[in-house]
C-alpha cells in the first residue's frame, strides 16, 4: 500500500530547530558556553513561546497536532485514503483494557511529581489484569498521554531549551540564572519553586526527567552525568542495573547493519 506523509511547517528542518538540535549536541559534549548561547538564541529569537499553564494538558491531549511550543515534530505517515498507518501510539498507546501497547511509566517516575504538578495529569492510569507469581491480579499501569491517538514524534520543543540553558548556566558558574530557568518550567507546571541553589545539578536532572519523560532523553542524561542505572520497579530484564562506568553504556550496533556490512566490528560486550 502506498503511503504519504501529512507534512506541515513544524515537520521541516529550519534555522530555529537546527539551532535547537545544535544546543543539544553542545550539551552532550559538555561545551557549556555554546550550549547556553544556542539555547538562549532559540528561546529569545525563535518566536516560539512556552505552552501556557492554562492549556498545557489540552495541548498534549490534541489528537493530531503537536503542542504549541513544538520546534520539530516528525510527521505521521498516512495511506492513500488518508488513514494514519503508524504513530507513537503504536508504542505508548492505550485503547481498551485488552488493546494497549508495551510501555508505561514506572511508579518511581510518577511519584516524582507533586500532587499539584499539572504534569501528573499527563498519565492515564488503568488497572489491568496481570499474572504475578502465577496468580492473576489487578495492577495499575500509567500510560503517558503524550502519545495517544495520532501522535507524531516530538523531536524538539522549547521546554528542552530552558533546561539546556539552565544546565549550561550552572556549569558556567551562574547558578542564579539556572535556578530561574528551572523555576520557569516548574511555575508553568504549577509545581513548587526552588528557593535556593543547593543540589541544583540533581534538581536539573530530575526536572529533565519529569518534563521530558518519554521523549528519549533519560538514558543519555544518565550516561552524560555518570549515574548508575537502577531499574527496581517491575523490571523483568536479565540485567536491571548498571554501575557507571560500564561498556553497556555504549549501545550495540544493530544486527541489520552488521549483517549488511560484515566489516563492521560490534561494540565491546555484545
pLDDT per residue over 12-62, tens digit each? Answer: 999 999 999 999 999 999 999 999 999 999 999 999 999 999 999 999 998
Q: Residue 223: name the closest of 197, 251, 199, 198 by CA.
A: 251
Q: What is the pLDDT of residues 136-152, one digit of tens each?
A: 899 999 999 999 987 88
Mean pLDDT, residues 249-262: 93
The pTM for the full model equals 0.90
Amino acid at each position: 500500500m502506498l503511503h504519504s506523509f501529512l507534512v506541515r511547517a513544524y515537520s521541516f528542518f529550519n534555522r530555529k530547530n537546527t539551532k535547537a538540535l545544535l544546543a543539544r549536541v553542545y550539551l552532550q559534549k559538555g561545551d557549556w558556553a555554546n550550549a547556553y548561547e544556542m539555547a538562549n538564541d532559540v528561546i529569545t529569537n525563535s518566536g516560539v513561546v512556552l505552552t501556557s499553564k492554562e492549556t498545557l494538558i489540552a495541548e498534549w491531549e490534541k489528537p493530531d497536532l503537536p503542542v504549541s511550543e513544538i520546534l520539530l515534530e516528525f510527521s505521521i505517515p498516512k495511506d492513500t485514503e488518508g488513514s494514519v498507518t503508524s504513530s507513537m501510539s503504536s508504542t505508548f498507546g492505550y485503547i481498551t483494557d485488552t488493546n494497549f501497547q508495551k510501555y508505561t511509566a514506572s511508579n518511581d517516575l510518577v511519584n516524582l511529581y507533586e500532587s499539584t504538578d499539572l504534569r501528573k495529569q499527563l498519565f492515564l492510569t488503568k488497572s489491568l489484569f496481570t499474572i504475578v507469581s502465577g496468580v492473576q491480579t489487578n495492577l495499575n499501569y500509567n500510560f503517558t498521554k503524550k502519545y495517544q491517538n495520532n501522535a507524531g514524534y516530538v523531536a524538539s520543543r522549547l521546554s528542552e531549551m530552558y533546561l539546556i540553558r539552565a544546565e549550561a548556566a550552572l556549569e558556567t558558574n551562574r547558578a542564579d540564572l539556572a535556578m530561574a530557568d528551572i523555576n520557569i518550567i516548574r511555575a508553568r507546571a504549577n509545581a513548587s519553586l526552588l528557593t535556593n541553589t543547593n543540589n541544583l545539578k540533581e534538581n536539573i536532572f530530575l526536572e529533565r526527567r519529569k518534563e521530558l519523560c518519554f521523549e528519549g532523553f533519560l538514558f543519555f542524561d544518565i550516561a552524560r552525568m555518570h549515574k548508575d542505572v537502577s531499574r527496581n520497579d517491575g523490571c523483568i530484564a536479565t540485567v536491571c542495573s548498571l554501575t557507571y562506568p560500564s561498556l553497556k553504556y555504549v549501545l550495540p550496533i544493530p544486527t541489520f547493519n552488521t549483517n549488511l556490512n560484515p566489516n563492521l566490528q560490534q561494540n565491546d560486550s555484545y
